[in-house]
Structure 1
C-alpha cells in the first residue's frame, strides 16, 4: 500500500475512531455522575433498610411501625388500638357511623403495586407551600413509589413543579375537591382524615345518597362528591393520636381556657409516611414568617398568612419538629 493510500484510509477511519472514543468517555462520565448521589434517580433509589430502622428508633416515639394505615370493617371497634378518645384522636362515640361507612368502602388496603414485596419503599410528601413554586421538581417527584398529597392541592397546570403522580391524597370534607378525578390518577386512594364526627357523617351521606347536613363545618363541603367508592379509605385516628402526643407532644385534652391545638394534615402525612416507608422525602413545606401577613402560602390560589391567623395549628412547633427530623437524617427536604 502506498503512503498516499495509507493516508487516505487513515483519514476515512479517523471519524469512526473518534466517535467510539467520545462515546466511551461519555459513558464513564455519566456512570460516575450517577454514583455520586447528584442524580435524582440515585437519590430516590438509595435505601438502606437497617439505616431506616435506626433512624426510626432515634425518634424515641415509644411505638413500633404500623404499616396498616386504614380502618377496616373487622376492627372498627378499636380492637388494635384501644382508646378512650373521641375524634380526632379516637373513635369513641363514632362506632355506628364507621360501621355504616366501612360497610360500603369495600377495600381497606394500599394499591397492590405498592403493597407488593418492595425491598425498599420510597415516599415523598408534597406540601402545598409557596416554596415549591418554580422548583422544577415534578420529574423527580414522579419517580417515588408513593406520592402523598394534601387536601385539594391541584396538579393539572403545575406538573413541572409538583409532578402528576398521586398515590394517596389525605383530605377532610372542607378540603375535598368536588371532582377528585380532575387532579388525581384513576387509582389514587382518597384518604379521609376524620377530625370530627360530622366528617364521617358527611361521607356516610355521600355514600348512601342521603340528605346532606350542612351544619358543623367551618367551610361548606361539597354536597355532591364524585369520589369513586373503591378508592375511598378512612385513616386510622391512631396516627393523628401519635402525631399529636408523641411527635408534637401537644395535649390531647387541653384545659378549658386553652385553645385546642391539632396537627396539620401536612405533619400528619409526614408521620404516616415515616410509619409506612423506608425513605421519606418532603417538598413544598414551610410557611412565610408570621410578620409577613400578605405573603402567599400556597403554590396555587391567593391565600395568605392572614388566613391562618385563627387556625387550630401551631405552625412554629411543627417547623421545629420538621427541622429536628431533618437534622436526625430521618427526612430530607427536596430543593430545586
Structure 2
C-alpha cells in the first residue's frame, strides 16, 4: 500500500493523502531522476515552474540565427515592394535621364530639305528697325508689305524664350493637338511631365485636365481662334504666339495691345474685341516656319491662285516649330476621323464634325501623310493612336 501511494504521487505530480515516511537515501535517487531535489527531508515543488523559462531561453538561443534570417528576408521583401511601386509611379522618368541630343536634327534633315536651326523662332524688332530685312513672300510665308505695322507691334512685344527653357540641357516637348482622341485618354499627368507643352488655338484646359493636362508653355493662335480671355486657359507665364496668316492679323493685335480702334473687317470670323493679355507674354511667330511646313512637308507652292489657296493647319505648324528647337518631340491628339465617318466629332471639347472642314483651306489627308512619315522615321513619337 505504501508503495502504491508513493508511485501515485510521483506519476501524478500531486499528493492524494499521507505518505509513510521513508528514508531520504531511498527517495533521493528516484526524485533526482525526475528533475526534483530533496533537501532537509522535504521536496521543492517550485522547481518545475522555474524550469520552463530556462527551456524557452535555451530554445530561443538555438533558433536565433533562423529568426534573424527570416526577419532579414521580410525586410528585403518590404524594400523591394516599395522600390517597385516607386519605379512604376513615374512612367516618364526614363526620358529625364536619357536625352537624344542631335537625334531630331539628324532625322529632320532626312525629311526637311536644307534643315537648319539658325532662324529665330519669333520676329525681332531689330530686323525691322535697325536693319530692314527684306522678305521674299507676303503672309503667311513672309512679311513683305507688313513692315510698318510690324515695327509698331514689335515695339510693345518681345521675342525671347524664357530662361527656364533656354537653359535646359534637354528640351523635351509635347505638342498637344485638339483631336477627339484625347477624350477619356487619361494622358493629362503624362503631358504635364514634359519641359515644353505646346497647345493650339482656343482649346480649353479647365475641365479636361485629366485628359489633356494643365501645363501650357506656348499657345499658337490666330485672331479668329483666340480665346476671349487668355488668362483663363493658360498659365501666367504661357507664351501667346500669334500665327499671322494675313496683314489684318497684325493690325488686330496692334489695336488690342495699344488700345486703338478695333479692326472688324477682313476676318472670316469675328475675333475678340477685348483680349486681356500681358504684352510681355506675346510673341509673333517667324513666318519662316510656315514656309517650311508648306513647302517642305506639304509640297505647296508659295504663290497659289487666289481661289485654290491651301495652308497648313496650326497643328502641323506647331510640330514643325518643335522640330526646330526641341531635343525630343512627342505628339498627342492628332489625326482626324475617317472621311466616311460623318458623325464623329473632330475635337475633344466640342461637337463639330469633319463636315466643318469642307470649306477650310486645309488638306487634312495630305497632312496625315506628312505626320505618318515623321512617325516612320522616328522623328516624333505619338502618345495617342493616330
**Does residue 283 of the first structure (1) align with residue 335 of the second (2)?**
no
Question: Aligned pair in 2 of structure 1 residues 78, 93: CA closer, same or farther (>3 Å)?
Answer: farther
Alignment partner, residue 135 of structure 1: 185
Alignment partner, residue 160 of structure 2: 109
**Does residue 192 of the first structure (1) align with residue 247 of the second (2)?**
no
Conserved 8 A contact 1:78-1:91: no
Conserved 8 A contact 1:68-1:109: no
Alignment partner, residue 322 of structure 2: 273
**Does residue 154 of the first structure (1) align with residue 204 of the second (2)?**
yes
Q: For 2:155, what is the secondary structure of its paired residue?
A: helix
**Separation in 2, partners of 1:77, 1:269:** 28
Question: Aligned pair in 2 of structure 1 residues 64, 77: CA closer, same or farther (>3 Å)?
Answer: farther
Question: Aligned pair in 2 of structure 1 residues 44, 61: CA closer, same or farther (>3 Å)?
Answer: farther
Post-superposition offset of 1:19: 3.6
Post-superposition offset of 1:232: 0.4
**Separation in 2, partners of 1:240, 1:207:** 24
**Does residue 97 of the first structure (1) align with residue 152 of the second (2)?**
no
Q: For 1:249, what is the secondary structure of its paired residue?
A: coil
For the aligned residue pairs, the C-alpha RMSD in angstroms reads: 2.5
TM-score (norm 2): 0.79
Question: Aligned pair in 2 of structure 1 residues 80, 93: CA closer, same or farther (>3 Å)?
Answer: closer
**Separation in 2, partners of 1:209, 1:29:** 57
Question: Aligned pair in 2 of structure 1 residues 32, 210: CA closer, same or farther (>3 Å)?
Answer: closer
**Separation in 1, partners of 2:224, 2:62:** 79
Q: For 1:136, what is the secondary structure of its paired residue?
A: coil
Conserved 8 A contact 2:176-2:199: yes
Conserved 8 A contact 2:173-2:194: yes
Alignment partner, residue 83 of structure 1: 135
Alignment partner, residue 294 of structure 2: 244
Question: Aligned pair in 2 of structure 1 residues 137, 249: CA closer, same or farther (>3 Å)?
Answer: same
Post-superposition offset of 1:18: 3.9
**Separation in 1, partners of 2:248, 2:259:** 16
**Separation in 2, partners of 1:23, 1:202:** 63
Post-superposition offset of 1:39: 2.9
Higher relative contact order (CA 8 A, sep 6+): 1
Alignment partner, residue 381 of structure 2: 332
**Does residue 72 of the first structure (1) align with residue 72 of the second (2)?**
no
Alignment partner, residue 20 of structure 1: 75
**Separation in 2, partners of 1:132, 1:45:** 27
Post-superposition offset of 1:5: 3.0
Alignment partner, residue 355 of structure 2: 306
Which string of whole-angstrom CA distances, capped at 9 and with x for unpartnered residues, describes residues 204-233 of structure 1?
110111111211111110000011111000
**Separation in 2, partners of 1:76, 1:311:** 32
Post-superposition offset of 1:178: 1.1
Structure 2, gaps ≥5 residues long: 1-53
Which string of whole-angstrom CA distances, capped at 9 and with x for unpartnered residues, describes residues 264-321 of structure 1?
0000000000001010000000000112122111010121111111100010010000
**Does residue 50 of the first structure (1) align with residue 102 of the second (2)?**
yes
**Does residue 181 of the first structure (1) align with residue 231 of the second (2)?**
yes
Conserved 8 A contact 1:45-1:122: no
238-247 or 58-67: which moved more? 58-67
Alignment partner, residue 284 of structure 2: 234
Q: Which has the larger radius of gyration?
A: 2
247-256 or 198-207: which moved more? 247-256
Question: Aligned pair in 2 of structure 1 residues 39, 226: CA closer, same or farther (>3 Å)?
Answer: same
Q: For 1:180, what is the secondary structure of its paired residue?
A: coil
**Separation in 1, partners of 2:66, 2:234:** 58
Conserved 8 A contact 1:295-1:304: yes
Aligned length: 330
TM-score (norm 1): 0.91
Structure 1, gaps ≥5 residues long: none
**Separation in 1, partners of 2:100, 2:293:** 25
Q: For 2:137, what is the secondary structure of its paired residue?
A: coil
Conserved 8 A contact 1:61-1:247: no
